[in-house]
Amino acid sequence: MFCLSNRRRRSRKPTPSPHIVEIPIPTPADDDDDAPLCSICSALDIHTILQNGLPKKSALPLGNLTDILAKQDQCGLCRLVSIVIQRAWHLDKQPNIDIAGITCALYARECGYPHIPDYIPAVLRDISHRLYIQTSDRPREVSTAIASAESNFMLDIQLLEEDASKVGRTRELHGRRVGRDVDIGLLKRWLHICENEHGGKCETVWWKGCSILKSSVRF
């Protein structure tokens, strides 16, 4: 149901396919899920959070990171949060990092580029919301490892597109399952939309640099 984002900031290396983990979210009709939730996570209204968003200043506490890691085999959401942090912080490669005292909180914000200037026409940034994990601290070793790997510092989780309707959202801007084969039909549809609907807007967008590929680069 959720997709773990795996992005790089400005790396030119190939981006790995996102890891997808099936974690059912509680619904009014589901009294018992395959992935039960702990007392803290069961009190969260995930539907409302994904539907309306939740400001960072109002982030909901999830407890100590050590407790979340300890509960990952008993609670579906704790497991998902644990996977996100373990992968982003490379805890498997640095098992001796001191994470005692670090607390976590959950918030959600709209999907889209957050720094769009006011003079740019309004865009549909409120189509989807992504969950973000806020930590009270980040060990120096973790920050160094993330920076050297040019990875993303944000700890975010996105809902898969096939489950977007469960929270009253459309499929756009939600996580999409990616197989080993390229979907040529989807690429053609994107190109058609770009050429026939976007036109020059895609060639001269405000956020895109004017760098030109070297003549030695061949496709």
The secondary structure of 117-161 as a DSSP string is -TTSPP--TTS-EEEEEEES---HHHHHHHHHTTB----EEEEBG
Number of domains observed in the structure of the chain? 1
Does 101 fall in a domain? Answer: yes
188/69 Cα distance (integer angstroms): 43
Residue 199: inside a domain: no
Whether the per-residue pLDDT at 36 is higher than 60: the answer is: yes
SS3 at position 45: coil
- Residue 219 domain-assigned? no
| pLDDT the model gives residue 100 | 92
Quick check: is 215 in a domain?
A: no
> Is there a domain that residue 212 lies in?
no
pLDDT digits (tens, 9 = 90+) for 129-178: 889 999 999 999 999 888 887 777 889 998 888 988 888 887 777 888 88
Asked if residue 93 belongs to a domain, the reply is yes
Say if 194 falls within a structural domain: no
pLDDT-derived band of residue 69, with 50, 70 and 90 as boundaries? very high
Highest average pLDDT, of 14-18, 117-121, 194-198, comes from 194-198
DSSP-assigned letter for residue 58: G
* Domain that includes residue 80, residue range: 2-182
For helices 140-148 and 76-89, give the axis angle rounded to 10 degrees: 70
Helix (H) or strand (E) holding 70: helix 65-70
Q: What is the predicted pLDDT for the residue at 11?
A: 38
Q: Which of 18-22, 52-56, 90-94 has the lowest mean pLDDT?
A: 18-22
User: Has residue 152 been placed in a domain?
Assistant: yes
Which residue(s) pair with 107 in the sheet?
132
205, pLDDT greater than 90 = no
Task: Provide the 3-class DSSP secondary structure of residue 54.
Answer: strand
At 10 the pLDDT is: 41
Average of per-residue pLDDT across 49-58: 91
> What percent of the chain shows pLDDT beyond 90?
31
CA 68 to chain centre: 19
